[in-house]
Structure 1
Amino acid sequence: MNAFLHPSDNRGHVKMGWLESKHSFSFGSWYNPKLMGVSALRVINDDIIAAHNGFGTHPHDNMEILTCVLDGTISHRDSMGNERHISAGEWQLMSAGTGVQHSEINNGDIPVHMLQIWIIPNERNAEPRYQQILRDPREQPNQWHLIAGPNTDAPMHIRQNTEVKTAVIEQGQHLPLEATQHINYVHVISGAVQIAEHKVEAGGAIAFLEASQIEALEDAQVIWFDLPEVQN
């Protein structure tokens, strides 16, 4: 199997007071020219935000920003007029388009653990929009759950020829990885999995082209990105 392995210990590690973050790809002050993203996937930040802290109001444009909350609750506010709370098991997709200002604050008494994922859109300067769903794979393990896709019937519509799926896979169970685009990228949130001859542990990832299957070596949660061959 022709694959690119991205071990967890290759990630950047940034700790600054209220925020501890591990960067799969170059981000902010952490830069690795060999890790600039895969296809349209530009950022996977694994963030732990201390209680009563967070990201103050700041701008974005022309980026699809997907947030997956794993523990705790984050409070979102933006210039589109949205004021929402995203709790564990919920997903947020903010399409920044022509530009949006937003904040993400942990108003609770416990840390928030979440993933921030950026995907470069294939449509620039579109109208900003906000989407949010509850899709907790722990409630229905051993199956893929579609989070976002390019078709309007996807749970959340993303402006890119990309599908984002997640699953909780119990130890010893298998799921297929049937490519519908060209590049597959599987990020392991927790646990450990086997894909072909490759073992991938928590925080690590693997990019590959061929259809395959994934086996949980221990209880695991993963995200599968089905990406276009060429960023468009």
Structure 2
Amino acid sequence: MNAFLHRSEHRGHVQHGWLNTYHSFSFASWYDPNYMGVSALRVINDDTIAPHRGFATHPHDNMEILTCVLSGAITHKDSMGNHGDIKAGEWQLMSAGTGIQHSERNEGDEAVHLLQIWIIPNERDAEPTYQQIAKDPHDYPNQWHIIAGTSTNAPMKIRQNTEISAAVLQKGQHLALNKLHALNYVHVISGMLKIAEHTVSVGDALAFADDVEIIALEDSQMIWFDLPKP
């Protein structure tokens, strides 16, 4: 299997005091020309946000922004009038389109752990939209849960030929990965997996074009991006 293996130690690490973040791809002050994204996938930031801190109001446009809360809750407020919490096991998809402003703040007393993911859209200057779902793969392990995509069974619709799925795979269990598009990118949130000849663990990722079977060497959680041809 021809694959691009992205080890966790090659991610950028930035500590801002209230924000401890790991960048899979070049972002803000961390830049590496070898890590500029994969296909339409441009950003995976693994953020831990201290209590009563967060991101002040700031703008975005022409980007599909997916937030996956792993623990705690983050309070979202935006210029479209949306205001509320995104809790552990919930997902938010903000299609920035022509432009939005938003803030994300941890109003609780415990740290919040989340992934922020950016997908480059295939449609520019569209009307901004907001979507949010509760879908925790821990509730139904050992199967894929589609989070966002263009297929009819995708609970959130994304402006790109991309399907995004999540799974919790228990130790010793197998899970088939059969893509719809051109390229797979699997990011490991927790645990350890065997994907073909590669062993990947927390923070690692693997990009490849084959359909494969994934084996859990430990109880594991992952997110799978089924991406268009670069």
Q: What TM-score results when the alignment is normalised by the length of structure 2?
A: 0.99
5+ residue gaps in structure 1? none
Aligned residue in 2 for 1:148: 148
The separation in 2 between residues aligned to 1:142 and 1:226, in whole angstroms, is 18
1:167-222 CA-to-partner distances (Å, cap 9, x unmatched) read 00000000001111010000000001000000011000000001101111100000
CA distance in 1, matches of 2:62, 2:152: 19
Percent identity of equivalent pairs: 68
User: Does residue 1:7 correspond to 2:7, yes or no?
Assistant: yes
Give the root-mean-square deviation of aligned CA atoms.
0.6
Rounded Cα–Cα distance in structure 1 between residues aligned with 2:170 and 2:154: 25
- Give the equivalent residue in structure 2 for 1:192: 192
Name the structure 1 match of 2:130: 130
- Indicate the residue corresponding to 1:212 in structure 2: 212
Structure 1 position 154, deviation (Å): 1.5
Q: Name the CA distance, whole Å, in 2 between partners of 1:194 and 1:153.
A: 28
- Residue aligning to 1:180: 180
* Equivalent in the alignment of 1:59: 59
Partner AA of 2:124 in structure 1? R
Structure 2 counterpart of 1:186, one-letter code: V
Q: State the alpha-carbon separation in 1 of the partners of residues 197 and 143 from structure 2.
A: 22
Distance in 2 (CA, whole Å) between partners of 1:76 and 1:142 is: 31
| Counterpart residue number, 2:79 | 79
Separation (CA, whole Å) in 2 of partners of 1:151 and 1:79: 28
- Quote the offset at 1:151 in angstroms: 3.3
CA distance in 1 between partners of 2:119 and 2:101 (Å)? 18
Deviations 1:60-80 (A, max 9, x none): 000000000000000000000
CA distance in 1, matches of 2:202, 2:213: 18
Paired amino acid for 1:223: I
User: SS of the residue aligned with 1:28?
Assistant: coil
Distance 2:64 2:30 in 1: 21
Query: Which residue pairs with 2:36 in the alignment?
Result: 36
Q: In the TM superposition, what is the alpha-carbon distance from 1:152 to its structure 2 partner?
A: 5.2
Aligned residues: 230
Deviations 1:85-122 (A, max 9, x none): 00000000000000000000000000000000000000
Scaled by the length of structure 1, the TM-score of the pair is 0.98
User: Which residue number in structure 1 is paired with residue 228 of structure 2?
Assistant: 228
Q: Which amino acid aligns with 1:66?
A: L
The letter of the residue matching 1:200 is V
Amino acid at match of 2:53: N
Which SS does the other structure have where 1:55 is aligned? strand
Gaps of 5+ in 2: none
Q: Distance in 1 between matches of 2:29 and 2:42?
A: 15
Distance in 1 between the 2:88 and 2:49 partners?
A: 14
2:23 matched residue in structure 1? 23
Show structure 1 runs of 4+ deviating over 3 A: none
In 2, the alpha carbon distance for the partners of 1:164 and 1:2 equals 22
Matching of residue 70 in structure 1 with residue 70 in structure 2: yes
